[in-house]
Amino acid sequence: MPPELALDPKAFPQSPPPDLCDPGILVDHDWRAFTEVRRMKSHWDRPGWADGRRAFYWMLTFPGATGLIRRTQHCQDELAHLGMDSIPSDGLHVTLTRIGSTEVVQRSRVQLLAGLAGHLRIPAFPLTARPLAGSTGAVRFTLTPWSPLVALQAALSEIGSRVGVPGGRPTSMFRPHLGIQYNNRERPAAPVIASVARLRTLAPVSLEISRVELVELWRTSNPPSYRWQVVHSVPLLPADVPHP
């Protein structure tokens, strides 16, 4: 069983879905939360991201996912009139958890984390990018199922605690998502929701998650985006290999 998620006003959606596996429930839960947003804020208005700041993260990346990249570009073209900041095709990612600033986390600890992650014996798993929804600061795909993502995030957070890195948000706050556009100013949410709603009939995109990346990540301002370099790529077990 995946760890428990909890209601948290700092998470979005604030309340977790009642089921972490059922696609219909997850899609409906994300969409309902987005339709309740009244105003959107700039994604970039975040403390702690001064120019030059870098940090280590665990992420999923999608460099070879041509179906996802094509679907993302189509949706971005359809939403171009909103004037948001589109995530480039080589910038698509799912953030699992923060490890810590490069000023604090030594490379020796990063190496230790990667080694421990390689012994987690977590199997590869399928993932599906479902209809678009959004948050207060972004437009994003709903992902299904959540259960393997929550389990992976919890396992990576646990080894981070063992190694003694600062870490990020607790698993209870984790809300998996895959963003395609970042909102860049204060605005009413209704026009964005209406535009996104027109794209929700597109077919789901299937993905195979076979590795997790430990990256060094930073922000750029022209254009605004997140960029990273992979420090360690940790393969998951083949899905047909027995695991605990």
- In this model, does residue 240 exceed pLDDT 80? no
CA distance linking residue 232 with residue 229, whole number of Å = 9
| pLDDT tens-place string over residues 149-196 | 999 999 999 999 999 999 999 999 999 999 999 999 999 999 999 999
Residues 104-143 pLDDT 10s: 999 999 999 999 999 999 999 999 999 999 999 999 999 9
* Close Cβ partners of 214 (under 8 Å, ≥ 6 residues apart): 56, 57, 58, 99, 110, 113, 114, 117, 230, 231, 232, 233, 234
Q: How confident is the model at residue 221 (pLDDT cuts 50, 70, 90)?
A: confident
pTM for the model stands at 0.94
Q: Are strands 54-61 and 93-101 parallel, antiparallel or unpaired?
A: antiparallel
Rounded Cα distance, 146 and 2, in Å: 9
pLDDT in tens, 47-59: 767 667 899 999 9
